Amino acid sequence: MITVTVTQQPATPPPADLMEAIAKLGAEATGAGVLLDQGGLAPSAQGARLALTGGRLSVTDGPFAETKELISYALYQVSSKEEAVEWTSRFLKLHRDHWAGWEGEADVLRVFGPEDFA
């Protein structure tokens, strides 16, 4: 699973050529049989954070205090971490190449499957 966080957001909306490039990359990954799901995420102002601390459950409405905003996710089924890193690098490079001033980071995380709990 890939999560993408924006750390520097330009004042302009995402350019159309960026969105076209993202759609093309998604189609390529889907055609290769590795992209299972993807989507953009609404700002944290529209969300809630739940915490369990000391046996007590709390709910806090967004926005959250972090300066980074989680903006999207993608779920890939690949054969290695290196392959996931390659797809993610391509996604981030599209932002670099098509949206001046945008900065962000992505986390590549492995999703457990039944085989992990023998």
SS (H, E, C) 50-114: EEEECCEEEEEECCCCCCCEEEEEEEECCCCHHHHHHHHHHHHHHHHHHCCCCEEEEEECCCCCH
| pLDDT score for 110 | 96
Residue 74: exposure state from Cβ atoms within 10 A (0-12, 13-18, ≥19): buried
Residue 85: exposure state from Cβ atoms within 10 A (0-12, 13-18, ≥19): middle
> Rounded to the nearest 5°, which phi and psi values hold at 51?
-135, 145
| pLDDT score for 42 | 93
State the residue for tokens 């967004």: 62
In-domain check, residue 50: no
Q: Structure tokens of 59? A: 């709910």
In-domain check, residue 31: yes
In-domain check, residue 69: yes
| pLDDT score for 111 | 95
Q: How many domains does the chain have?
A: 1
- Which range of residues forms the domain containing residue 78? 2-43+58-111
The model's pTM: 0.89
State the residue for tokens 């959250």: 64
| pLDDT score for 65 | 78
In-domain check, residue 52: no
**Is residue 107 a contact partner of residue 15, using CB atoms and an 8 Å limit?**
no
CATH number at residue 101: 3.30.70.1060
Per-residue pLDDT of the chain (118 residues; tens, 9 = 90+): 999 999 999 999 999 999 999 999 999 999 999 999 999 999 999 999 999 999 999 999 999 877 789 999 999 999 999 999 999 999 999 999 999 999 999 999 999 989 899 7
Q: How far apart are CA 96 and CA 85, in angstroms?
A: 16
